[in-house]
Amino acid sequence: MEQESGIDQATQRALLDRVHRHTGIHMADRKWTLLQGRLRRRLQALTLESYADYLAVLESRPEEVGHFINLVTTNETSFFRTPRIWEHLWEHALPDWFRRHRGATLQVWSAAASTGEEAYSMAMLCEEFRELHPAFKYQIVATDIASQVLQIGRAGRYQGRNIEGLKRIRPAMADKYFQAEDDGFVVSPALRSHVIFREHHLHRRLDGAARFDIALLRNVLIYFDDEGQRTVLEHVRRAMAPEGVLIIGESESLTRLNVGFDFEQPLIYRRQENAHA
Ligand SMILES: C[S@@+](CC[C@H](N)C(=O)[O-])C[C@H]1O[C@@H](n2cnc3c(N)ncnc32)[C@H](O)[C@@H]1O
């Protein structure tokens, strides 16, 4: 393998550019050490001598792109991440929507779903809401650009830190919606039947989808530059129902971007009613 300190600048820049080309994620030059660390094991698995050789593989084998995307994305997530937004959904968004849309099915989009904890948190909340309001119906679409995390979400099988966290913060829900299996916990079939997992690049239009009443676009905008954020938000806006609720992550804000959403409270926005479809 190359002397790691001696990797040529052109290869570095080219690999950082490929991250942007394939995912829209903006990685400045100073992120090279991070990217290098993430790609190192892949080089070893392919028995490649250098990052330049890896770049050549990435350019010549389309099937490598999926591996690359799985490696370069940051997939950290947890159940009921940022408690405040789940309280808002339970106390305001779900009851408001149900009062105004009797007979309809609530459409939710978990738009950078990672391994599915966000989508299943939403499903648990909806199930609890349905116990109080048996006529309530919902459907959740969970999308991500990385195929590996989607596989975990589809399987609905969790072990370690995240499921332990759920047991700590919402023990009754963990018991009710997860069953112990081997060395992990599997989401109940009833919950899973409400969540569809799909691969989707947020910089593209989402085809054939319903108009979403709630879009969870959390902890993903931070990876894009301003232009990328505007592109993503325009696609998300078009996929949403008029007055749909958009929820973003704690380190994110839309205020500078002027993208057709009204601020409701920190992290919570509403699609402008007059925004064209
Ligand atoms: C830090 S996780 C956030 C997960 C979850 N939304 C949360 O807040 O806990 C970011 C996710 O965004 C996904 N992602 C990154 N770029 C993307 C893109 N262009 N299109 C779709 N998903 C993307 C990554 O694969 C990763 O799973």
Set out the domains of the chain in order of their start, with CATH numbers.
Answer: 4-72 (1.10.155.10), 83-271 (3.40.50.150)
Share of the chain above pLDDT 70, in %: 96
Q: Whose CA is nearest to atom 16 of ligand 1?
A: 23
- Give the pLDDT band (50/70/90) at residue 1: very low
C-beta 162 within 6 A of ligand 1: no
- Residue 209 clears pLDDT 90, i.e. is over it: no
The pLDDT, as a whole number, for residue 7 is 82
State pLDDT tens for residues 92-117: 999 999 999 999 999 999 999 999 99
C-beta contacts of 157-162 below 8 A and 24+ residues apart: 157/181, 157/184, 157/185, 157/186, 157/187, 158/115, 158/117, 158/184, 158/185, 158/186, 158/187, 159/183, 159/184, 159/185, 161/78, 162/77, 162/78, 162/79, 162/115, 162/117
Residue 149 Cβ < 6 Å to ligand 1: yes
pLDDT at 188 over 50: yes
- Position 258 confidence tier, pLDDT thresholds 50, 70, 90: confident
Look at residue 173 and tell me whether its pLDDT is greater than 90.
Answer: yes
What's the 22 CA to ligand 1 centre distance in angstroms?
Answer: 14
The pTM for the full model equals 0.95
Per-residue pLDDT band for 276 (boundaries 50, 70, 90) equals low
Task: Please work out whether the CB of residue 235 comes within 6 Å of at least one atom of ligand 1.
Answer: no
Distance 231 CA to ligand 1 centre (A): 15
Angle at which helices 9-23 and 51-60 cross, to 10°: 40
Mean pLDDT (whole number) for 80-84: 98
For residue 52, how far is its CA from the centre of ligand 1 (angstroms)? Answer: 27
> Which residue among 21, 27, 145 has the greatest number of ligand 1 atoms within 8 angstroms of its CB, and so is best to mutate?
145
pLDDT of residue 4: 53
Q: Which residues contact 134 (CB under 8 A, 6 or more apart)?
A: none
